[in-house]
Structure 1
Amino acid sequence: MNKKINVSKYIWNSIFVVIVLVLLFVPPAKAYVIQGLMQMGLFKPQVTELNAQKPADLSGIKFKDAEGNITDLGDLKGKVIFLNFWATWCPPCQAEMPSVEKLYQQFSKDKNVVFLFVDADGNFEKSKKFMDRKKYNLPVYAIGGYIPEGIFKGALPTTVVFDKMARISYRGEGAANYSDKKFLDFMQKLSDM
């Protein structure tokens, strides 16, 4: 009887260790767990009422697309800018992508809102394969020059939303559910301003 308990205990400990190792070393598995937690209501972006923050000078903050076209954030003043830094190997980035895709689909036809999904690795071939495999339609960019630390400090994923006056209205590091109703309402409010 005692041997039976020890064998059972050994099996359960082994299963636990395997699960922990999979979560540590298999990014899609970790992303799947984070997505599940998002579905349960965790990882909601913390949006607050807009404050009277000083507009940022976005001139010279540049990003390039796969065709080599350059987008300068300074040229986008008057539009809401949703800027997301991510990487294909990043589990939290993978976890938030379905919600980011839903947000993009909701606002992609809104002429007041611009989306920039910046692959921090700048590997367009790899990011295009990732987007195609996942059936995402997100416009991918790479960093095209200096990025101020107030916008991107290197943590992935990082999302920054600028209002039409170039004020940072939202900045979040880590995975978040951007298809959350509160965030959708926040984006609509920015678009309508």
Structure 2
Amino acid sequence: MSRKNLYIVIGLMVGHLSYLSYEQYNLNKELEEWKGYYKSVAISYVQEIMEAPELKAPIAEEMSTTLIDFDANLLQFEDLEGAQFSLRDFRGKTLFINYWATWCNPCLAEMPSMVELYNQYKDDKNIVFLYLSKEDRSTIIDYIPKDEALAQLPLYKIITDDELFSTRGIPTTFIVDASGEIIVKDIGSATWNDQSVIDYLNNIL
């Protein structure tokens, strides 16, 4: 082989090795990016799971005093069979309103305590429990088999919301007394079968 041809072969080999090194660099870089992405997703998921069990009794300091105008209130919702309701349908009742979603782990974490509370009062005609979600009815219905607590609660899909019940996050629970005054607004998971809640409800019913 002539010296010229040898140089050509060596040049091609060096170029090929450089290309392979460049491709390996890009592959390693991409792998590191994916590792970082999945690590961040895993951390976020673990944080969300860890957040759910931190249940507490509702905080009295979060109470407010806002009177509902039942005739003007825009909140409308439908049950899982499609029957529609508005807030004015429950005028004169004590209302226990919970905003939740199937994707919200803190929401789902408090549902077992919600079931125990609901079971204590479900036969009381003076109080109405409303568990409201902005998700489609089909989404809620499809999720119920995954969480037996949900199957025991009166679930509704929000049709139109009202700014009176605006909240910076879910779960959020409101208690409205029979006169239409919002007397509790509690943001975050809570232990709703706590004796303090039962005593409070018994006192206003």
The normalised TM-score by structure 2 is 0.69
Name the residue aligned to 1:7.
Answer: none
Contact kept, 8 Å, 2:76 with 2:86, in 1: the verdict is yes
Quick one: which of 144, 147, 168 aligns to 1:131?
144
Paired position in structure 2 for 1:6:
none
Shift of 1:24: 2.4
- What is the one-letter code of the residue matched to 1:65? D
For 2:5, the equivalent position in structure 1 comes to: none
Give the structure 1 partner of residue 94 of structure 2. Answer: 80
Report what 1:24 is aligned to: 44
User: 1:102 is paired with a residue of what secondary structure?
Assistant: helix
Whose radius of gyration is greater, 1 or 2?
A: 2
**Residue aligning to 1:94:** 108
Q: 1:54 to 1:83 in 2, by over 3 A?
A: closer
Structure 1 gaps of 5+ residues are 1-17
Partners of 1:65 and 1:129 in 2: CA distance:
14
Would the aligned equivalents of 1:160 and 1:172 in 2 still touch at CA under 8 Å?
Answer: yes
One-letter code of the match for 1:120?
K
Contact 1:58-1:74 within 8 A present in 2 as well: yes
Q: What's the counterpart of residue 19 of structure 2?
A: none
Post-superposition CA distance 1:110-169 (Å, at most 9, x none): 111101111222x22232233333222111111121312x31235111111100011001
Whole-Å Cα distance in 1 between the matches of residues 39 and 127 of structure 2? 41
The AA in structure 2 aligned to 1:72 is S
After the TM superposition, which of the residue ranges 53-62 and 178-187 deviates more from structure 2? Answer: 53-62
Contact 1:61 1:145 in 2 (8 A): yes
TM-score of the two chains, using structure 1 as the length reference: 0.73
Query: For residue 170 of structure 1, what is the aligned residue in structure 2?
Result: 184
Distance 1:91 1:75, change over 3 A: same
Alpha-carbon RMSD: 2.6
SS in 1 for 2:67: coil
Q: Note the alpha carbon deviations across 1:85-109, whole angstroms, 9 max, x for none.
A: 1011111101111111111111111
Question: Matched residue of 1:144: which SS?
Answer: strand
**Residues 65 and 23 (structure 1), Cα distance of their counterparts in 2 relative to 1, 3 Å cut:** farther
